[in-house]
Amino acid sequence: MQLEKSIIDEANHKQQAAHQRKFDFVAADINGLDTIIQKISDFNIAIPSWALGTGGTRFGRFSGGGEPRSLEEKIEDVGLIHALNKSSNSISLHIPWDIPKNAASIKALAAQLGLHFDAVNSNTFQDQPDQQYSYKYGSLHHVDKAVRKQAVEHNIEVINYGIELDSKALSVWLSDGSNFPGQLNMRGAFERTLESLHEIYDALPADWKVWIEYKPYEPNFYSTTIGDWGQSYLLASKLGKKAQTLVDLGHHLGSTNIEQIVSLLLMEGKLAGFHFNDSKYGDDDLTVGSINPYQLFLIFNELVEGMDARGLNHATGIGWMIDASHNIKDPIEDLLQSVEAIKIAYAQALLVDQPALVQAQQNNDVVLAQEILQHAYRTDVRPLLAEARLRSGGALNPLAIYRQQTIRKQLIEERGALAVSTGL
């Protein structure tokens, strides 16, 4: 289903006066208001194809119904999200969960909804029914060359699908690791991974990147071959310019200073981008900003400062993507919340008085430095986001329209209460 623009306009009209009051209040104190609103408008976050269905855990899966049954329906769901928030103009595919069999028609459908394709993700962490060798003991790091070859070929196949869709990056996450001390020679595992990644790297088109994601544990609980940003960075450095490190916010041990990692990767030109989510315990994949919004703001503060220093365009210089999958929420509602949370943190970071912060740092005025950051963080930027959406033709309040229009109910009627999507 698609959402008529007139429905959005009508709802906006009803909320206009209330919006204007809130907007005028916050706008009065902001320098360079129009530039900031334009930056907020330009900032889009890719939606992963696996987030549109209920995620589930190994203890159960509780579908809300009306899940997309095909890649086409997933694209339609992203189209709905984008029509409402004008901030989600791309989709990232995980292959083989979503195989773009007919690339031309898939691309045409996406284009009709104002969407394009972000990075393509490979999957060598699960065995597929038709594959010859198992990934039980790993893929790109496997001791057996034949298994490594199979995994390399899968990645090259994913690149080829991506080329047809005009994607520009391959995103690789490996579950390769070991469960018990002694199971694996760690140096050997790393060297074999590097060798395999070299073969994949060599298959990348000139204008492509390979994004190397790290994660400390799960599904392996003793060692993971690409376990932290250092290991990912080492691989990316050895591979060359087209290889960079991808930061998934849930892939850090408790209280890791993620903003510092981000700042240094950016400095080295090695920051591929993000998988946004939030976590309390581990790789929880909770809604972005639902647990630690201040950390998200501090990350964006490093990003804005670092990207400005390097002359990078905020909207296009880095891969911005959500990576989450929920068991108990309507996925579309969750994605609307996630995009909003990311853009709130971004907008707050845009408000940081950078020259004043530099001065405070020079003077070692710790109190003032904290005041400057927290002044920006404590500003209610939601009216700025709403204004940016309004100016782009989106909804002042996307979630409210989604509910008022009973979109999930319509999707259940169209697709069925038991419709289950592919993915996690």
Q: Which residues bind ligand LRH (CB under 6 A)?
A: 50, 121, 173, 213, 215, 248, 275, 283, 323, 424
Q: Two tokens at 208? A: 């492509």
Minimum distance between the CB of residue 165 and ligand LRH, rounded to whole angstroms? 17
Q: Verify binding: residue 314, Mn ion, rule CB under 5 A.
A: no
Give the nearer residue to ligand LRH in terms of CB position, either 96 or 383. 96
Minimum distance between the CB of residue 248 and ligand LRH, rounded to whole angstroms? 5
Looking at 195, 283, 305, 365, which residue binds Mn ion (CB under 5 A)?
Answer: 283
Looking at 67, 118, 248, 278, which residue binds Mn ion (CB under 5 A)?
Answer: 248
Report d(CA 294, CA 259) in Å as an integer.
11
The site partner of 190 among Mn ion, ligand LRH, none (C-beta below 5 to 8 Å per kind) is none
Minimum distance between the CB of residue 218 and ligand LRH, rounded to whole angstroms? 7
Q: Which segments of 49-139 does DSSP mark as H helices, in order?
A: 71-85, 103-112
Tell me which stretch binds Mn ion (CB under 5 A): 196-204, 231-239, 247-255, 376-384: 247-255
Query: What's the half-sphere exposure (Cβ side, CA atoms, 13 Å) at 159?
Result: 22
Give the nearer residue to ligand LRH in terms of CB position, either 168 or 215. 215
How distant, in Å, are the alpha carbons of 97, 138, 212, 265, 318 from that of 237?
Answer: 30, 23, 11, 11, 18
Report d(CA 193, CA 201) in Å as an integer.
12
The site partner of 297 among ligand LRH, Mn ion, none (C-beta below 5 to 8 Å per kind) is none
Q: Verify binding: residue 275, Mn ion, rule CB under 5 A.
A: yes
Q: Verify binding: residue 323, Mn ion, rule CB under 5 A.
A: yes
Contacts 24+ apart (CB under 8 A), 165-168: 165/93, 165/100, 165/103, 165/106, 165/107, 165/117, 165/120, 166/107, 166/116, 166/117, 167/93, 167/117, 167/118, 167/119, 167/120, 168/119, 168/207, 168/208, 168/209
Q: Verify binding: residue 118, Mn ion, rule CB under 5 A.
A: no
Minimum distance between the CB of residue 68 and Mn ion, rounded to whole angstroms? 20
Residue whose pair of structure tokens reads 């003991």 in the numeric block: 137
Give the nearer residue to Mn ion in terms of CB position, either 273 or 383. 273
Q: Verify binding: residue 228, Mn ion, rule CB under 5 A.
A: no
251-257-259 Cα angle (round to 5): 90
Report d(CA 208, CA 315) in Å as an integer.
18
Report d(CA 183, CA 320) in Å as an integer.
36
Phi, psi of 80 (to 5 degrees): -65, -45
Residue whose pair of structure tokens reads 């950051």 in the numeric block: 373
Give the nearer residue to ligand LRH in terms of CB position, either 175 or 301. 175
Give the nearer residue to ligand LRH in terms of CB position, either 124 or 348. 124
Give the nearer residue to ligand LRH in terms of CB position, either 173 or 346. 173
Give the nearer residue to Mn ion in terms of CB position, either 251 or 389. 251
Give the nearer residue to Mn ion in terms of CB position, either 212 or 395. 212
Counting residues that bind Mn ion (by CB under 5 A) gives 4
Minimum distance between the CB of residue 395 and ligand LRH, rounded to whole angstroms? 29
Give the nearer residue to ligand LRH in terms of CB position, either 272 or 424. 424
Minimum distance between the CB of residue 126 and ligand LRH, rounded to whole angstroms? 10
Minimum distance between the CB of residue 378 and Mn ion, rounded to whole angstroms? 30
Under 8 Å between Cβ of 115 and 52: no
Report d(CA 259, CA 349) in Å as an integer.
13
Q: How many CB atoms lie within 10 A of CB 127?
A: 11
The site partner of 121 among Mn ion, ligand LRH, none (C-beta below 5 to 8 Å per kind) is ligand LRH
331-335-341 Cα angle (round to 5): 145
Interface residues with Mn ion (CB under 5 A) are 248, 275, 283, 323
